[in-house]
Amino acid sequence: MQHTQQEQSRWQIPFFTIWTGQAVSLLGSMLVQFALVWWLTEKTGSATVLAIGTLVSLLPGIVLGPLFGALVDRWNRRVVMLVADTIIALATLVLAYLFAVDEVQIWHIYVIMFIRALGGGFHWPAMQASTSLMVPEVHLSRVAGLNQALNGISNILSPPLGAFLMQLMPLQAILAIDVGTAMLAIVPLFFVHIPQPQRSISEDTQDRSKKPSVWRDLREGFKYVLEWPGLLAVIVMGALGNLLFNPAFALMPLLVTDHFGGRAFELGWMEASLGIGIVLGGLTLSAWGGFRRRILTTIAGFTGIGVGVLILGLAPASSYWLALGGIFIVGVAISMTDGPLMAVIQASVAPEMQGRVFTLLISAVKVASPLSLVIAGPIADLVGVRIWYVVAGVACLLMGVGGFFMPAVVHLEENNRNGRTMVGDIPPMSSVPVYVEVE
């Protein structure tokens, strides 16, 4: 992806106009998610109901994620984001009406969660794939750091803010807030131009008047990843990491109560430490930019996650403060892992393939979630909860360290699928200012 000097000096206004609207909308969405989960908890007190709600939110991304990516790569990405945000807002408005007239049923919640997940399944890859066409390559890691910080801040603010708002107003009013924040994300999309990638025609597609089918696009997405060993290895590492770490976070209440003898207050501090770590890690990445070879920052971050989780598993019952330090390290390392990885894909993957690659990555990561949760419960009941943290920490630490000795991973950005040499053309990130003056 090439940007002229003029483009590099004028990218901030259009990009951050959209980014700011999306940031506000994200907070509104997380408020709604908290409020709906809490309403289901108070209404039913059923773990099964909550599990079904979680599954409904996960299934679209797991089952249909690659298809979402193929469609995003075929369609106008600005229109995709507009339609996805609008559908989410309308679905939320319908649910607000049902709450207002006191006609809401649990199945209504499931349907709305499913629709919101569908919208998000289209919106996220469209936004990520558009970023690489709007942001100069040297700034991609910094923008990814800002995204990590935004997610961390939203995770910290949404639970207490949601709980506070639920004491002040009915649930339909909170849903209306989300509709309002969605409008702040929708309106800028009408006025900001988002570049579209040029679709390449396969060598065996001689008739350019015939557009390949979506299923052909989907197969090409899988082939694209499978023929790029470094990217495939990173996706496998991400899936294995998620398989190990999802249960670790799900079992954290038991770690706090059974091992450290804590209660809700101590659990709250654990979650806050994780969120603070994600924010500080994201801000650090935004200011620093990471190593010149971005993938090294991701591998180092993956190793750091292993260290932090291992500290959690090995901390004595009398050293709750050590566990807080461990979870803080995990938070920082998550930002250092995810942010540069997004930048690597945005910089190295062909723009017309990014929707498919992003959704394949997310689907591979998410598909491990249900399986890991099914396995973790019985294991924790049998041998104790701490063993899961120790195993997960050691496994992640070994994968992270091993990544430094895998040439396909270390040279992922140089030896990419398209044969383009990236790293040699990138100036040291520390020498590039975060913002340049707009002409």
The CATH number linked to 15 is: 1.20.1250.20
Whether residue 436 lies inside any domain: the answer is: no
Whether residue 207 lies inside any domain: the answer is: no
Q: Which domain holds residue 300?
A: 5-194+214-427
**Number of separate domains in the chain:** 1
Which residues are within 8 A (CB) of 186 and not within 5 positions of it... i.e. 6 or more apart? 21, 82, 85, 86, 89
Tens of pLDDT, residues 101-111: 989 999 999 99
pLDDT at position 421, please? 39
pLDDT at position 51, please? 65
Q: What share of the chain is helix, strand, coil (3-state, %, to 5)?
A: 80, 0, 20
Whether residue 294 lies inside any domain: the answer is: yes
**DSSP assignment letter at 199:** P
Tens of pLDDT, residues 332-380: 999 999 888 888 888 888 888 888 888 888 777 777 766 776 677 677 7
45 sits in the region (left: phi over 0; alpha: psi -120 to 50; else beta) called: left
Whether residue 27 lies inside any domain: the answer is: yes
Q: Contact at 8 Å (CB) between 336 and 110?
A: no
Q: Contact at 8 Å (CB) between 396 and 81?
A: no
pTM of the model: 0.69
**DSSP assignment letter at 213:** P
pLDDT at position 352, please? 82
Cα distance between the two ends of the chain: 22
pLDDT at position 425, please? 34
pLDDT at position 243, please? 80
Whether residue 54 lies inside any domain: the answer is: yes
Only one residue has tokens 């294995």, namely: 240
Low-confidence ranges of the chain (pLDDT < 50): 1-8, 201-209, 417-439
Whether residue 202 lies inside any domain: the answer is: no
Whether residue 204 lies inside any domain: the answer is: no
Long-range contacts from 164-172, C-beta under 8 angstroms, 24+ separation: 165/31, 165/35, 166/35, 166/38, 170/99, 170/100, 171/35, 171/39, 171/99, 172/96, 172/97, 172/99, 172/100
Whether residue 327 lies inside any domain: the answer is: yes
